[in-house]
Amino acid sequence: MENVYFVSTPIGNLKDITLRALETLRAADVIFCEDTRHSLKLLNAYDIKKPLFACHKFNEREAAQKIAAAAKDGKRVAVISDAGMPVISDPGNVVCAVLREEGIGYTVLPGPNAALSALVLSAFPADRFAFLGFLPEKSGERKELLSAYKNLPCTLVFHVAPQDLDRDIADMYSILGQRRACAVREITKLHEEVIFFDLAEGFNGERRGEFVVLAEGAKNVQNELNALSEREHILHYMEKGMDKKEAIKQAAKDRGIPKSEMYKFSIDI
């Protein structure tokens, strides 16, 4: 029998808590949460009073050991994050790994999820999508990650902090090229908003609140050609009989980037 429960919590509207989540939190002996002050708002709203312990990115391994020890002692442990599903762009993954290593069973209570809610609100293709979470802080790592996914013909979904909107969208454009995009903020809250824009133009809407940004997938991708360098890509079409201008245009189309971006790789051809 599982003694540890990963419980999804509302991403905005407190009424989105599930009946099973409330039942589990009330039955728990202890609750580990990302921020005790934040979690108290939810627990107080439903008159749940339990011992609270922190489990965040700076102490997760230590917290995981405490959770494992409590479970071995027969205590019922609930693990929550500030909003949404624990582990998904939130603490919890280390806890799961430690529990598996210790042979301790655990289960998950599904519920609110910002990325999936934003995908529905965007109306972008949802049959296949890639969730990339928060992009890395370092520029080189951001661009490397985006490059690994730029040729996927499916919707890309990102979590973005409001102060990082311009930075992340600029990098998306530099690597992914011109695409339709959508920013969804304050999901389930009073000021929920869906804003469509082009990556080339950037985002010009309200910047307060929590954001999910979605970009359309790559179109007309020829994976083998896109594995070439930009210069080799242009030369491929020229060797097939295209003049330089036509080759640049077609290579840019394959990669989903503006012709002007592609042109710089052809100067010495």
Candidate from 127-141, 203-217, 235-249 with smallest mean pLDDT? 235-249
Tell me the β-bridge partners of 195: 183
Question: What architecture does CATH give domain 4-112?
Answer: 3-Layer(aba) Sandwich (3.40)
Mean of the pLDDT values across residues 47-58?
Answer: 96
Pick from 94, 81, 66, 79: nearest CA to 34: 81
Average pLDDT in the 164-181 region?
94
Q: Say which DSSP state 164 is in.
A: G
Strand partners, 183: 195, 213
3 state SS of 263: helix
**pLDDT tops 90 at residue 238:** no
Give me the sign of the Cα torsion angle 17, 42, 118, 128: negative
Q: For position 227, what pLDDT does the model report? A: 74
DSSP annotation string for 94-138? HHHHHHHHHT--EEEE----HHHHHHHHHT---SSEEEEEEPPSS
Helices and strands (H and E) in the chain: how many:
11, 10
| pLDDT for 1 beyond 70 | no
- State the pLDDT at residue 222: 52
The per-residue pLDDT for 228 is: 83
The reported pLDDT for the residue numbered 266 is 86
How confident is the model over 84-112, as a mean pLDDT?
A: 96
**What digits encode the pLDDT tens for the residues 64-80?**
999 999 999 999 999 99
pLDDT(147) > 80: yes
Q: How many CB atoms lie within 10 A of CB 42?
A: 20
What pLDDT score was predicted for residue 249?
A: 86
> Which CATH superfamily, name and number, covers 115-215?
Tetrapyrrole methylase, C-terminal domain (3.30.950.10)
